[in-house]
Amino acid sequence: MSSSLLVPQLLVIALALIMFGLGLSLSLQDFTRLLKHPKAVAVALVLQVVVLPLVCYLLIVALQVPPIFAVGLMLLAASPGGISANLFSHLFGGNVAMNISLTAVNTVLSIVTLPLISNWAISTFAKTGQVVPLQFGKVAEVIAIVLIPVVIGMWLRSRQPAFAARSEKPMKLFSAVVLAVVALGAIAKEWSSMVSTFSDVGVAVIAFNLVSLLAGYYVSRLAGLDQAMATAIGFEIGIHNSTLAIFIALAVLNNFQLALPAAIYSVSMYVTATLFGLLVLRRRARPSPMLNRG
């Protein structure tokens, strides 16, 4: 089996494991919990579904990102929050329960929004037929890889809560290791391509990541949400599921160039997310009177 065929198949396994691990940490209460925080949910979803794709489009236009990379960046923008958001939120004082709930809702919503935004991006930027739009069969494939493992994990937790509780952390660790091995292997294999294309899309990727993190936090604070909730939303919409974006680019659309923005993002976001977390901690130590009035 050639390496070009092996990487997408490993990505399928890695993504399914990650989604199953997410399911082990979820229950129906995670969805009903959102009803207690309608303002936070509204802010997060509007930012995730409407604002971030718009910001991404404006960055693409302003920075004159080449069409093929523009589609890849929009694919990343349309991806839901990643599980890494939960970890960063925990480390820097965010409301992790809200992260888990938003990740669940965003993952389900992305089944509809991701194909819509991706196909719009393809028709808008890749007018030369470089990319084949997501067809119904491909959308069904994404649904199967994303939703079914989550449902299985949730079902197992409901039937065997003790086993699920014991398995949750090892499963997350195992899926993280699998993901890291696959991602590092793909990055190492195409390192020269990433370096050569950084000037075309790297600045836009980092700018999009920073704007996402900061918008999530500051818009939430201006809306009157507390520090922990704003931190959670900042990480939730600022850390996208780059694995899903890479999977769709490689295994669904069969185009490695589409995966380059997400590949660059999967490396750079650890730096930007850490810097953002340190900023949040600094603001907690020196709160802003204006933002604390609400």
Token duo for residue 225: 């949400």
Query: Where does 3-285 sit in CATH, by number?
Result: 1.20.1530.20
Every domain of the chain and the residues it spans: 3-285
pLDDT in tens, 172-205: 677 667 656 665 666 666 667 667 777 788 899 9
Instruction: Give the pLDDT band of residue 55 (cuts 50, 70, 90).
Output: very high
Residues contacting residue 242 through CB under 8 Å, at least 6 positions apart: 76, 79, 82, 262, 263, 265, 266, 269
> pLDDT band at 242, cuts 50/70/90?
confident
How far is residue 142's CA from residue 134's CA, in Å, rounded to a whole number?
10
What does the pLDDT average to over 93-114? 80
Q: What is the pLDDT of residues 127-141, one digit of tens each?
A: 755 565 655 665 676
In DSSP terms, 81 is beta-bridged to 240
Contact 140, 264 (CB under 8 A): no
Residue type at 275 in one-letter notation: L
| 3-class secondary structure per residue, 232-254 | HHHHHHHCECHHHHHHHHHHHCC
Of 4, 172, 205, 190, residue with least CA distance to 84: 172
